Structure 1
């Protein structure tokens, strides 16, 4: 894979490429694997915070030898346009990832706008229950811990399903388990969820 000189966050094939696949992101996973079918060799990957965009992009790089750009919505038009042209010249697929819909990228360069419009759009939807359970298990397994089936069942049926909530709740359960010196059971999960919901219900303080 050739190197690109622009000061962009371009992925390396030597990084970790693991991510979970369930029904909620299976179509996304398949579209990324079919990079050789992308129009003009370019795709845009959209997903919320914590949805696994970086991990998916690194897997794409390792399989295709292509490039990816993180937070593409924040890259200047001329740099992004130059990268698109460079990728075309090198015959390398290009993946642009962002947490924002393309309509909110504020693209001013007409040539870039037309090229993005012609690119395949790949979106990561909200997590399903299987994904939530898998992410909780992965979070604690990486820390040498485990979460009980009761805790997983409790959270899967009650929590608001979003990738960010999985991260926040996992962190809260970890802290509570350490403070109470207890394993991560339904009681810990219940306390963490109550704490999270109370914090989410607090009104935001307006700055004067």
Structure 2
């Protein structure tokens, strides 16, 4: 399975489509590697927006040849039910993705409720500092850039700790650096964080 383990010195190449593994998602990564052990061949993976579910799913599909359903919470009960039955009939693993917990999917079909309840359920936790640093480095590395250590440490103490904020801050720092024709340094990090602290743009946590 394609993935990028820390330490951060081992940064991904620009064309690498892997994902970082830290304590925040280590359990998920372990279960994805051992898909043959899933109860009823099915795993439900939940987690907040921008936490890497789609990238992890892409690696899973390549490695296992299994089935994957994105945004399962927005899918009709019958479609999920048939997909679950197909996976078990064909002895293929099925990965269901959702930003919402299963309790909020609004499942009405009794047979589907029982099948989901019997499936493996794993959640991606909030980003730890290793994940935050790694995501910033991966974002800028993919653009042939680097982010300075003092910029990372400044953001570490002040930013909202969420995947969505990491993504938004990285995009803002990138734009500011291009505009100022400067590297991603402490000044750029301060300006980007001030942009969000001032309420110029809302980021869901």
Q: TM-score range by the shorter chain?
A: 0.7 to 0.9
In 1, Cα distance between the equivalents of 2:182 and 2:64? 45
Q: Which runs of 4+ in 1 moved over 3 A?
A: none
Moved more, 30-39 or 111-120: 30-39
Tell me the TM-score normalized by structure 1.
Answer: 0.86
Secondary structure (helix, strand or coil) at the match of 2:198 reads helix
Pair 1:64 & 2:48 matched: no
Q: Structure 2 stretches of 5 or more lacking a match?
A: 1-15
Secondary structure (helix, strand or coil) at the match of 1:51 reads coil
Secondary structure (helix, strand or coil) at the match of 1:125 reads coil
Counting only pairs closer than 5 Å after superposition, residues 1-208 of structure 1 correspond to structure 2 as 17-199=17-199
In 1, Cα distance between the equivalents of 2:79 and 2:25? 30
Per-residue deviation, 1:17? 4.9
In 2, Cα distance between the equivalents of 1:123 and 1:92? 21
Structural RMSD (CA) = 1.4
Secondary structure (helix, strand or coil) at the match of 2:95 reads strand
Asked if structure 2 preserves the Cα contact closer than 8 Å seen for 1:45 and 1:53, the reply is yes
Q: Structure 1 stretches of 5 or more lacking a match?
A: 1-15, 203-208
Query: Residue 7 of structure 1 corresponds to which residue in structure 2?
Result: none
Give the length in aligned residue pairs: 187
After superposition, give the CA deviation of every residue in 1:60-98 in whole Å (9 maximum; x if it has no partner): 112221111000111111111011111111000100000
In 1, Cα distance between the equivalents of 2:195 and 2:80? 42
Per-residue deviation, 1:157? 2.0
Asked if structure 2 preserves the Cα contact closer than 8 Å seen for 1:46 and 1:100, the reply is yes
Per-residue deviation, 1:37? 1.1
Tell me the TM-score normalized by structure 2.
Answer: 0.87
